[in-house]
Structure 1
């Protein structure tokens, strides 16, 4: 005997399950409401409606927000499976069209989005004017599986099983400074001459200081009076003469307001990847944008 589901009897509301799932993952109604772009009272009513529908309490309030009840813990994995299924359905539906029109979201760092992406997008728009591009600016890795973007420009290999990537020619980063700033330093010529120089650190971990000291510099915390995780802002600080910064030489060499701080200092190579969900194979539109990025970034 073959079992057949009577779908007329199924009245489950996915919006309520999604409200429960995101609230559990975010830890509070306010954070979940922001993630789903809903009013907090609306989200709260959806969670309460699901509790009423299932006949169980899913959350209990604690001093730091919401805490899952035992029943909530038991049902959370089922909600995650439903969420994965919904995302898979959305990805499959999104990619079925062969039309070269519609929206494509590209994730890139602030520096690439500001300086390298615009001419690529201009050429793409001239070739395919019906494709609309959303630029997602983030220095963190966008979650392509959760549709935070369709395609990403990254500096690391994708590790997720459902992602594919194309490694391009390695980019090269160099040290740059404003000419007036180098004049104030009497234009040091070697790494050993930069003891009095000021640099702009790129993260709280001191990555730039460690990187440069590994290349023959002798720098300490006093050489890094500034820190900025936003590369575009860091670059404006360099242009304003606040200190020395490091950036992709395709950007630095094209800017007439700065110079290479150490002309004979070898570049620091780093990888560039164009990454997408493997369902890109179903969408001609996404493939066209992917190929345009590969070509534009030097694939």
Structure 2
């Protein structure tokens, strides 16, 4: 098959429009149309249903688009490896992790990485969905469990536990619970047990919900839970990595916590020699070492 025609077909399928594809490719609409028609003739099939509102892939078109999408990702990976053959660390790095960890732990530390590598362009994708690293939906992932996908390089970074925290002002006003049954007299702030989150956190929340709670506030991520706790709304279920950046939070009911949640950094085997990935990996590991050191110092004080 003609590679140029496949490239044009992919752009049209991605844009859903001859006009938009032409703009992206710097070609006229008629030139794009001719190339698509020639590809259809060479395959003896129809790739698009033509509608007034745009183009829709036929079943055969969807099969071809899946193939060209995979090709595009492999080409992106090859281009990334070529760029990383240079001595300098620069270019785009797509990093995925959970909303809570990304917004509350990772993002506040990124200035140190940018100071060292000012030409990096980080695309930080925060979501609970596990992106497919071998298919290059992202370059690097920080996950709250060990990745199960093959062909990934993985490193355990640390372990996290979900614990109970409140602000000093809230506790001054409402008192400090001494046993778990006392939680019923307080407002519990947590993620909804049915929302996407690590299993350990969901299990702890379910156990707390079994108490006769007077009031609750559920949020779909830890950033929202933290904001509610900092604004004196109640006692929140939060990951313990927050204690480094929010030392004024008060641990409530120290015996109540989730089981340990491992945190892993992972990236595709094909990016083993990527300088951008190595720079990000080393940065995260250095920050983890600093985090652990500070925790030890806090424990001694």
Aligned equivalent of 1:185 = 174
C-alpha distance in structure 2 between counterparts of 1:217 and 1:12, whole Å: 58
Aligned equivalent of 1:260 = 251
Q: CA deviation at 1:10?
A: 6.1
C-alpha distance in structure 1 between counterparts of 2:229 and 2:31, whole Å: 50
C-alpha distance in structure 2 between counterparts of 1:218 and 1:197, whole Å: 14
Question: Where do residues 44-63 of structure 1 align in structure 2 (5 Å cutoff)?
Answer: 51-53=36-38, 54-55=40-41, 56-60=45-49
TM-score, with normalisation over the residues of structure 1? 0.73
Aligned equivalent of 1:247 = 238
Query: Does the residue aligned with 2:184 lie in a helix, a strand or coil?
Result: coil
Contact 2:193 2:206 in 1 (8 A): no
Q: CA deviation at 1:51?
A: 5.0
Q: After TM superposition, what 4+ stretches of structure 1 lie above 6 angstroms from structure 2?
A: 44-47
Contact 1:51 1:57 in 2 (8 A): no
Q: CA deviation at 1:195?
A: 1.4
Query: What RMSD over aligned residues (CA atoms) do the two structures have, in Å?
Result: 3.7
Aligned equivalent of 1:79 = 65
Aligned equivalent of 2:297 = none
Matched, 1:138 2:131: no
C-alpha distance in structure 1 between counterparts of 2:108 and 2:206, whole Å: 35
Q: What is the total number of aligned residue pairs between the two structures?
A: 271
C-alpha distance in structure 1 between counterparts of 2:60 and 2:46, whole Å: 12
Q: 1:196 to 1:249 in 2, by over 3 A?
A: same
C-alpha distance in structure 1 between counterparts of 2:219 and 2:33, whole Å: 43
Aligned equivalent of 2:95 = 106
Q: CA deviation at 1:156?
A: 2.3
Matched, 1:19 2:12: yes
Question: Where do residues 80-99 of structure 1 align in structure 2 (5 Å cutoff)?
Answer: 80-96=66-82, 97-99=85-87
Q: CA deviation at 1:269?
A: 1.7
Q: 1:45 to 1:228 in 2, by over 3 A?
A: farther
Q: CA deviation at 1:237?
A: 0.9
Query: Does the residue aligned with 1:245 lie in a helix, a strand or coil?
Result: strand
Unaligned runs of 5+ in 2: 293-301
Q: 1:52 to 1:154 in 2, by over 3 A?
A: same
Aligned equivalent of 2:278 = 287
Matched, 1:227 2:218: yes
Contact 1:174 1:248 in 2 (8 A): yes
Q: CA deviation at 1:46?
A: 9.5
Q: 1:218 to 1:280 in 2, by over 3 A?
A: same
Question: Where do residues 198-217 of structure 1 align in structure 2 (5 Å cutoff)?
Answer: 198-203=187-192, 205=194, 210-214=203-207
Unaligned runs of 5+ in 1: 1-6, 24-28
Contact 1:166 1:275 in 2 (8 A): yes
TM-score, with normalisation over the residues of structure 2? 0.72
Deviations 1:271-295 (A, max 9, x none): 1011112222232232222222233
C-alpha distance in structure 1 between counterparts of 2:225 and 2:112, whole Å: 28
Structure number with the higher strand fraction is 2
Deviations 1:187-239 (A, max 9, x none): 1111111112222231361675742454x773367642x22223222211111
Q: CA deviation at 1:58?
A: 3.3
Q: 1:10 to 1:236 in 2, by over 3 A?
A: closer
Deviations 1:87-144 (A, max 9, x none): 1122022113142321223223333333422564344344x43541414141223443
